Amino acid sequence: MDKGDFNRFLSMYKVDNNTFLTDWKNNGKKVIGYYCSYLPEEIIHAAGMLPYRIKGVENVDFIKSDAILSRFNCTYVRSTLNLILNQKYEFLDGLLIANTCDHVRRIYDVLNYQKDFKTPLFFISLPHLFSNEGWNWVKDEIYLFRESLMKSYNLKISDDDTKNAVILYNENRKLMNEIGSLRANRRPPLTGTEFSKICLVNSSIRKDYANKELKKVLSYLKSRKELKDNEYRARLMVIGSSIDNPAFISILEHANSIVIADAICSQSRSFLEKMVWKPEGYEKSSDPIKELVGATYGRVLCPRMMNFHKERLKQIEELVRKHKVDGVVLQRIEFCDLHGIENSFLQHELKEQLDVPVLNIDREYFLGDIGRLRTRVEAFIEKIERRK
């Protein structure tokens, strides 16, 4: 892979540039959209379909979504719903939604009541606590989803298909973590904006194809000399709401700073290899569904899980130290309840326990206030520089 190939790969985060998606649909194959990192992509892959993470980055207005949802719903949800209602996601053959948060949950309700919306809908109910009961709950939900997928499309998903998908996804997590670990270097070979695009592309293509390309990306980045002489003013970590618009990361990096770590569900949080929680008496199983419970419910650290804040804080502290973070940017999309509450805790905890500068900002999903954000970021970087 050379620079041109790398840039072409990054450009695939946009639907119009996603040549894999275009070829996939032209060959008559199916695509299932999904909203959350807790959802079992592996089942969709095992069914011979393409799991595609829903994004709202190409939305330009809220005309249709605001006729249904309140302005107090987050703009990510309103953006994605608006795209769906405007048939920008007409390439989807199904849509998988969960009770990730109350805002996302309402998308299922809205589409379920739309008489003109013919795309099959699937729903997975997730617990808000880590517990033995929650583990069994998620396991049953994944079984039910697999059954409904087979019934809806008249296909068979064998245990072997599921096992192979689990193996493939574990390899994908390993590759993404290897790429992410390069950001800890004193002079990282990639920017935070580039890493954001890699994550978005990875969630928009099949993992067998993704793994082949990621190996090339990893090899290219290890030999890349383009950024190695850069001296950055600040090494930043980003925490909070989902970011599927690389333009937001580029705003943070515009003043010669670099984003070298994150705790974002659409980025690094989706690639945790180590299980953060296990039920009592847990043992590795030959049942691929149980492995899937561990890969989703047991790994993804999200503030929706109400009894695990201390563990999330510990993970953030480890990243701050490993990546030598100069400052942390806490951000949330306006009206995002989960990250609004979590960020209010983290703002004090990170200052008191790690003595690291923290910038806490609210933002709109569609980045209509770029000037304000740039001003606050520049002031934050100056604050960091005064500490050095």
Residues 165 and 157: their CA atoms lie apart, in Å, by 11
State whether the Cα torsion 4-5-9-12 is positive or negative.
positive
Please state at what angle helix 192-202 crosses helix 159-181, rounded to 10 degrees.
Answer: 170
* Distance in angstroms between the alpha carbons of the first and the last residue of the chain: 38
Q: What is the pLDDT of residues 179-214, one digit of tens each?
A: 999 999 999 999 999 999 999 999 999 999 999 999
Residue 134 phi, psi dihedral angles, 5° rounding: -65, -40
Question: Is 45 contained in some domain?
Answer: yes
Predicted TM-score (pTM) of this structure: 0.95
Look up the CATH number of the domain holding residue 124: 3.40.50.11890
Q: What is the pLDDT of residues 275-315, one digit of tens each?
A: 888 888 888 778 899 989 998 998 888 999 988 899 999 99
Whether residue 162 contacts residue 42, with contact meaning beta carbons closer than 8 Å, is answered with yes
Q: What is the pLDDT of residues 11-58, one digit of tens each?
A: 999 998 999 999 999 999 999 999 999 999 999 999 999 999 999 988
At position 21, the amino acid (one-letter code) is: L
pLDDT for position 360: 97
Question: Is 98 contained in some domain?
Answer: yes
106 CB contacts (<8 Å, ≥6 apart)?
69, 73, 77
Question: Is 149 contained in some domain?
Answer: yes
Residues 371 and 61: their CA atoms lie apart, in Å, by 20
158 CB contacts (<8 Å, ≥6 apart)?
46
Question: Is 259 contained in some domain?
Answer: no
Q: What is the pLDDT of residues 103-151, one digit of tens each?
A: 999 999 999 998 889 999 999 999 999 999 999 999 999 999 999 999 9
Q: What is the pLDDT of residues 364-374, one digit of tens each?
A: 888 878 899 99
Question: Is 171 contained in some domain?
Answer: no
- pLDDT above 70 as % of the chain: 99
Question: Is 337 contained in some domain?
Answer: no
State whether the Cα torsion 319-325-331-337 is positive or negative.
positive
Residues 201 and 213: their CA atoms lie apart, in Å, by 10
Q: Which residues of 279-296 are buried (b: 16+ CB within 10 A; e: fewer)?
A: beeeeeeeebbbbbbbbb
Question: Is 106 contained in some domain?
Answer: yes
Whether residue 44 contacts residue 32, with contact meaning beta carbons closer than 8 Å, is answered with yes
CB atoms within 10 A of CB 100: 22
Domain count, the chain: 1
Mean pLDDT of the chain: 94
| Domain of 127, in residue numbers | 12-157
Question: Is 139 contained in some domain?
Answer: yes
